[in-house]
Amino acid sequence: MADRFFCPDPPREGRYHLPTEEARHLTRVCRRATGDRVEIFDGLGFATAALIIEARGESVVLQAEGEPLPGAEPTFRVTLATAVPKGDRFDWIVEKATELGVERLIPVVAERSVVIPRDSKLDRLRRSIVEAAKQCRRSRLMDLAPPMEWNRMLDSFADLPRFLADPAGLAPSDWPSLPRGREVVLAVGPEGGFTPEEVEQAAAAGWVSILLGCHTLRIETAGLAGRAELLCRHQEE
């Protein structure tokens, strides 16, 4: 399997130039050199095999070879709107959501939330999205959005099916059918869940409460289990 490198800039005169950090990784960590072949992707869905034609420390220039590589993006898109847990557990959510093909991840600020990620943390996590995409061979980067207040989230994405993780929600056998080729939104609350008032507000706004399992799940488990369950149900229908 070829090493993969993130190259967000379009080619100049038919050649690709890696960002400084990626160039360092290619030359100093992977020990790649002129004449080697690797893969590059732009984070927007394009990927290609490429020949290294110049590798000098922080400057790496490549030439695309052959046709663009086929993508492996899921046809069923999920926006995961989740409260942020304490410690480094949100890092884990971001990494695994990238691997599972989540389209967009929105940190939600609800009444019981205790963590609101700062811009500096989100910027660091966006770099981890790149690393996760390189590892899982995903060519389109997951979008990590700024934090959003739950009251604002309620009326967002009104044209999409919206689901709320709730222990009192519908069992999987009673979930509504998932529309083909559409995006859905799944919301996961903080430790202790959404308040009864927040659940009522969601129902009034058109959200469907769903049960994700027979046991109480932590934030990071609920979001990823819900994503996997929705994907499986979409493939079966």
178-207 pLDDT per residue, tens: 877 678 999 999 998 999 999 999 999 999
Question: Which of 106, 102, 120, 82 minimizes the C-alpha distance to 219?
Answer: 82
Q: And the tokens for 166? A: 């709730």
As a whole number, mean pLDDT of residues 14-19 equals 95
For residue 154, the enclosing domain spans 77-236
In a domain, 70, yes or no: no
DSSP element (H, E) containing 216: none
Is 166 a domain residue? Answer: yes
pTM metric for this prediction: 0.91
If we measure between CA atoms, which residue out of 171, 166, 149, 235 comes closest to residue 207?
166
Q: Would residue 72 count as lying in a domain?
A: no
What does the pLDDT read at residue 236?
53
Summarised one tens digit per residue, pLDDT across range 40-76 is 999 999 999 999 999 998 999 999 998 999 876 777 8
CATH of the domain at 187: 3.40.1280.10
Contact yes or no for 157/208 (Cβ under 8 A): no
Q: Specify the pLDDT at position 70.
A: 85
Helices 89-99, 119-136: axis angle to 10 degrees equals 40
pLDDT tens figures, 133-183: 999 999 999 999 999 999 999 999 999 999 999 999 999 889 988 877 678
**38, 81, 142, 162 from 229: Cα distances, Å:** 34, 16, 19, 15
Q: Are residues 60 and 131 in the same domain?
A: no
Split into its structural domains, the chain has a count of 2
What are the b/e assignments for 97-117, b being 16+ CB within 10 Å? bbebbbbbbbbbbbeebebeb
Mean model confidence pLDDT for the chain: 92
